Amino acid sequence: MNNAILRKQPDELELEAGGRVYLLTCYPLPGEASADLYGFDISSRKRAEETIKAQPSRSGELPEKGAQVSSQKDGVLLKEVVELKEVEKALMDKLWFLETMISTIPVAFFCKDREGSYLGCNELFANQILGLPKEKILGRKLPELETGISPELALEYQRLDIELFEKGGQDIFETEIMCSDGVSRTFLATRAVFPDDAGKTAVLAGVMLDISGFRKTEITLRNNLSLFETLLDAIPVPIFYKDMDGVYLGCNELFARKVAGIPKEKIINRTIYEMEHNIPEDLIPIYEEYDRKLLREGRPQSYVAKAMCANGELREFQFNKSFYNDTSGKKLGIIVVMQDITELKQARDILKTSEERYRLVAEQTGQIIFDYNMKTKVIDWAGAIPALTGYGVEEFGKFDWEAWQEHIHPDDREKAVKTIVDSLDRGDKYVLEYRFGRKDGTYFYAEENGISFIDEAGAPFPDGWSNKGHNREQTRPEKAGKK
């Protein structure tokens, strides 16, 4: 055996015992200072060889014809012996290959007889699972071994093995095992029984794949999915997502309840055409056209469209669509966020109408209305601008804080600026009069009423608009002078 291990080559030895002759072959294990030993009964072959060797000594005692017959028989017998040796060698080579493969595969392997005694195993099974040398395992049953496996579980495995011997075939199951290093691992066990020459199940072979890493990853993914769904349901706007073929894969609770009007599970794996009773027929082509545009252009999109809600009300939503990808960057589908802007749009329409009315009133009453943003230094002007100043609306709209000061009469400028600055500091109303220069170089007397907004920290409020007011022309008995 030592020679086989040192040379890393199989070594053969013939041994006589009990009137029989055995061929022992020692197979060194890859990367280890140990070897497996296999034996075959070659008594019949040895007797045949002895018969052949004895024939020449008797050849002179036989008649010539008998010698020829004997020679023919010897030739046949010699051929059979040669063939038998070749078969034995082929079997031994295959056995060595099988043993090497079993020792190197990254799964635990074992085999048992009908009584539950181990016939063989690989190093991974012996070291990682049982924590014992192979020689202490072979020929013994699992309940007889001192391992990290509890006695109750060892007896249960023994019972399952007996059941499989009785019914035959194979089975697959998952099991949790305390390994020799004190770590509990999850294994996918596959067992199968094999018959002997008489057709009876004689050997049970099993492989055990460590799937602990897969199970931990699965648990992590499930937890992440649960967190994702919880976050999705917490978002106060309808959200849904679908694959590249338009099949709904998921949504949040608000979309299911407010928009679709059906449970989540009845939305998943359906297309827009399978939800026609929830979506008006005339809106489907609109949604599809935006999807096609998204696929063509490949960039996020935002648009406003109507959607029928679960209560039958047609409301306006701002749709924000984008792709979601896998870890390699491949597009998997489309995610859609819907923001209900019905009330906002109504408020904007009302505000727009009010502003238009205010502008008309200002124009008809000869006033100029303004908002001064302290953050941007921009003044928003409206009203009777052409009538009072002679400037066009677009031209006067470019006037900023400095331009406004420059058009105030030099004698009134310092007082006007100080009044507004003091109002900004206090955050209150103000009234002032000053002469303002027209485009033609003349001045008109203006009365300005305004109010300044500041927050608790003294910053412009709200939205940066710090000063709001209006100007109107004041009549004077005397004519306004020229610059």
48: which 2 tokens? Answer: 């045949």
Higher per-residue confidence, 472 vs 339: 339
What's residue 100's pLDDT?
63
**483 or 345: whose pLDDT is higher?**
345
Contact of 119 with 111, CB cutoff 8 Å: yes
- Report the pLDDT averaged over residues 351-373: 76
Q: Which of 32, 72, 39 is nearest to 55 (CA)?
A: 72
Residue 157 is predicted with a pLDDT of 92
- How many whole angstroms separate alpha carbon 50 and alpha carbon 52? 5
Say what the pLDDT of residue 45 is.
61
Angle (CA) 442 444 450, round 5°? 140
Q: Nearest-CA neighbor of 121 among 210, 203, 212?
A: 203
Tokens describing residue 459: 């910053």
pLDDT in tens, 259-276: 988 999 999 999 988 876
Q: What is the mean pLDDT of the chain?
A: 80
Q: Do the strands 35-41 and 20-28 form a parallel or antiparallel pair, or are they unpaired?
A: antiparallel
Domain range 105-210, its CATH number among 3.10.20.80, 2.30.42.10, 3.40.50.300, 3.30.450.20: 3.30.450.20
408-430 mean pLDDT: 88
CA pair distance 225, 228, nearest whole angstrom: 5
Q: How far is CA 273 from CA 188, 269, 336, in A?
A: 43, 12, 17
Q: What values do phi and psi take at 207, rounded to 5? A: -125, 145
Measured from the Cβ of residue 348, the count of other Cβ atoms closer than 10 Å reads 11
Task: Report the C-alpha gap between 23 and 34 in whole angstroms.
Answer: 19
In this predicted model, what pLDDT tens digit does every residue of 313-326 receive, in sequence order? 999 999 999 999 99
Entry pTM = 0.51
More reliable by pLDDT, 451 or 224: 224
Q: Could you tell me what percent of the chain has a pLDDT over 70?
A: 72
SS3 19: coil
The C-alpha angle 133, 138, 140, rounded to 5 degrees, equals 110
Q: Regarding the domain delimited by 236-340, which CATH topology (the fold level of the hierarchy) does it fall under? A: Beta-Lactamase (3.30.450)
CA angle (203 as vertex; 16, 43 as ends), nearest 5 = 20
CA distance 177 to 150: 9
- Residue 194 pLDDT greater than 80, yes or no: yes
Give domain limits for the chain.
1-103, 105-210, 236-340, 355-474
CA angle 348, 293, 273 (to 5 degrees): 90
Length of the chain: 483
Is residue 188 over pLDDT 70?
yes
Confidence of residue 172 (pLDDT cuts 50, 70, 90): very high
Per mean pLDDT, which range of 24-33, 350-359, 375-384 is the poorest? 24-33
Please state which CATH class domain 355-474 belongs to: alpha beta
pLDDT at residue 334 tops 60: yes
- Using CA atoms, how far residue 378 sits from 37, 118, 224, 423, in Å, is 95, 90, 48, 18
Out of 183-192, 369-378, 383-392, least confident range: 369-378
